[in-house]
Amino acid sequence: MPGKWSDDRFLDSLRQIGDPVADEAIARLMAGRQTADVGIIFRMMRANDDVLPADAPQAYKDFAAASPGLPPDLDFARLQRGGAAFYRNALPSVIAMLASSLPRGYAAPCIGEILSISRDLERHPYSRLMGVVQLLINISDGDAFQPQGRARATAQKLRLLHAGVRAIAPRYRPLYREQYGVPVNLEDMLATIMGFSYLVVDGVDKLGVPLTRQEADDNYYLWRTFALMVGIHPPGRPHDWSYIPETLADAAEFYASFARRHDAPAERNPYGVLLTQDNLQMMRQLIAAPMTLLGMRLAPRVWMAEMMTVEQLALVGMRPLVGHALIRAVLARILSASRSIGHRWVFAILARDILQGMVDLNRGGEATFSIPFDRLGLQGKEFA
């Protein structure tokens, strides 16, 4: 008998669930023509500020009031350890996220078709990714899950962003629901969370600088908590953890099932191929000019080949990279140095600066989540 996370009937049921509370808030805002007002609020509210402006739309106030508080019985010490584990292993974790987690997610058309809505007219096609990078920063900080920390406000904003995507998806992807279920459904949301947790742990291991068991478990606990806060739970039961794999072993079972169910060959997944190319171009732009003169422009391709199988690369239109032994040796030495006790803090600061630098490059500062009431909003041009 298959386990829960391999049960197609259970996983199919997750594809029919979105976030009714957030969807209702978006519908009221659109009906009241208050979309611009929400944009102003999103700009005004810092990620760690729970105070709503007095003139905020009532639909927004009601949504914020109805949003559940932090789950009971949280292990705050463990959450802090989870964030610290990320920063202690920041450089390989960021590499694993960019060069493995994201392209493996793009292999599924059900995800690629939604992410690509903003790409059609986007001058900088990876700018929406910057909001995700800001998310990574927001929930990894030491006090993120305190009552006034960043995680709660970030989760609320992300729920509204997802609801905005669900509202506009029928206009730009009219066949999506028939083919894949509810846009931004719980199965796809869970796969995305696994991309930033389980797949990062898996990728770092393949890079030869694995996290300790406690580091991996604590960081996964952080992401599992955030998954609950962002709405991955049975309808009406916001503190029920049953829709989120409990352990990394369960997470591995779920992601293997997700890939089996949804990954598609490159010729049937054009959006995933384009998103992978965008992501590769972004990684190349992050490499300093002097490093490119030394041949390090190939580093992203080398890392992708280290962490992804030939079959996984082919799904997103990539070929294996052979040779380049010198570059591989240099990159391995850099990663090894990043894990040494004497240098770890330096690389932790460096990786955080890289993450924030990615945001600054595209957004000029902290990325503010915005609700897409149309395609331009999804691109972050309306009020990001």
Q: What is the pLDDT of residues 21-32, one digit of tens each?
A: 999 988 888 887
Q: Best-predicted range by mean pLDDT among 256-265, 274-283, 352-361? A: 256-265
Lowest mean pLDDT among 159-168, 191-200, 318-327: 318-327
Distance CA 36, CA 354 (A): 32
User: Residue 338: what pLDDT?
Assistant: 63
Q: Best-predicted range by mean pLDDT among 142-156, 302-316, 320-334? A: 302-316
User: Residue 186: what pLDDT?
Assistant: 98
Write the DSSP string, 70-112.
SPTT--HHHHHHHHHHHHHTHHHHHHHIIIIIHHHHHTSHHHH
What mean pLDDT comes out for the span 114-131? 59
**Helix/strand/coil for 191:** helix
Whether 317 and 277 have beta carbons less than 8 Å apart is answered as yes
208 versus 294: the higher-pLDDT residue is: 208
Distance CA 82, CA 142 (A): 9
pLDDT over 90 at 227, yes or no: yes
User: Residue 56: what pLDDT?
Assistant: 75
Distance CA 266, CA 270 (A): 6
pLDDT over 60 at 378, yes or no: no
Report CA Rg, the chain: 20
pLDDT band per the 50, 70, 90 thresholds, residue 46: very low
User: Residue 231: what pLDDT?
Assistant: 95
Mean pLDDT of the chain: 81
User: Residue 375: what pLDDT?
Assistant: 43
pLDDT over 70 at 1, yes or no: no
User: Residue 213: what pLDDT?
Assistant: 96
Distance CA 330, CA 343 (A): 16
pLDDT over 60 at 335, yes or no: yes
What mean pLDDT comes out for the span 314-325? 84
132 versus 332: the higher-pLDDT residue is: 332
**Helix/strand/coil for 193:** helix
What mean pLDDT comes out for the span 89-111? 91
pLDDT over 50 at 369, yes or no: no
Q: What is the pLDDT of residues 49-99, one digit of tens each?
A: 455 667 778 888 899 888 888 888 899 999 999 998 888 888 888 889 889
- Degrees, nearest 5: CA angle 374-378-383: 90
Closest CA to 15 of 173, 191, 135: 191
Write the DSSP string, 296-354.
GGGHHHHHHHHHS-HHHHHHTT-------HHHHHHHHHHHHHHHSTTTHHHHHHHHHHH
